[in-house]
Amino acid sequence: MLTGLIQFLVSAVTSILGVILLFRAWVFVWALSPRHPFVQVTRRTTDWLVEPLSKAVPRRGNADWPSLVGALLVAVLTMLIEKAITGLPATPVGLVLAPAALVIRWGLEMISWGAFLWVILTWFNPQSPMTYALGMLIEPFVRPVRRVLPMFGRFDFSPVAVILLANIGLIVVTPISHGYIPL
């Protein structure tokens, strides 16, 4: 029971940190103002890791490589801690693929939750600056689905389809992110 609790806490803390690092990289791509609350929160929570990494891995173009490398390092650390806690035998292929799959899992979770929050915000406060910013960040994932899925009256179901597609991706990626390689 204690092992399960420790494993849950490690997974929760590292998942939150990993998602924030990926979100920081995504916000960097969209060049939000440094004064935007999204940017401030991500910087305050991740500068301790990203700033030292930026000395070794510079930002190039519109990619925040230090944040992405930080997310991968957190994923590797998560896998090593989970394997140490559970004592499960780890295959070399599983230890290589699992951190990359974990980063992909965090990205899919971020897309799914971001689209869900955006839908809720558009219902209750569509004119909010936060609704606009979140919509701008989610739009690249919604736009291709919107081209295929027509609107039904005034209802746009493309964010719901994005949430469903992200969750289907999670069904595929989650076992790999735990080190299980389907044959």
Containing 61, the helix (H) or strand (E) segment is none
The pLDDT, as a whole number, for residue 90 is 65
Q: What's the pLDDT score for residue 108?
A: 97
For residue 149, what is the DSSP state?
A: S
| pLDDT tens digits along 146-157 | 999 888 888 889
pLDDT at residue number 89: 58
Token output for 174 = 């989650």
Sequence spans of domains, the chain: 1-89, 96-183
pLDDT tens across 118-140, in order? 999 999 999 998 899 999 999 99
DSSP 3-state assignment of 102?
helix
Q: Nearest 5°: CA angle at 45, between 18 and 27?
A: 65
Helix (H, G, I), strand (E, B) or coil at 63: strand
Per the confidence metrics, is the pTM higher than 0.95? no
Radius of gyration of the chain (CA): 18
**pLDDT the model gives residue 69:** 96
Give every residue of the chain whose pLDDT is below 70, as ranges. 88-90, 93, 182-183
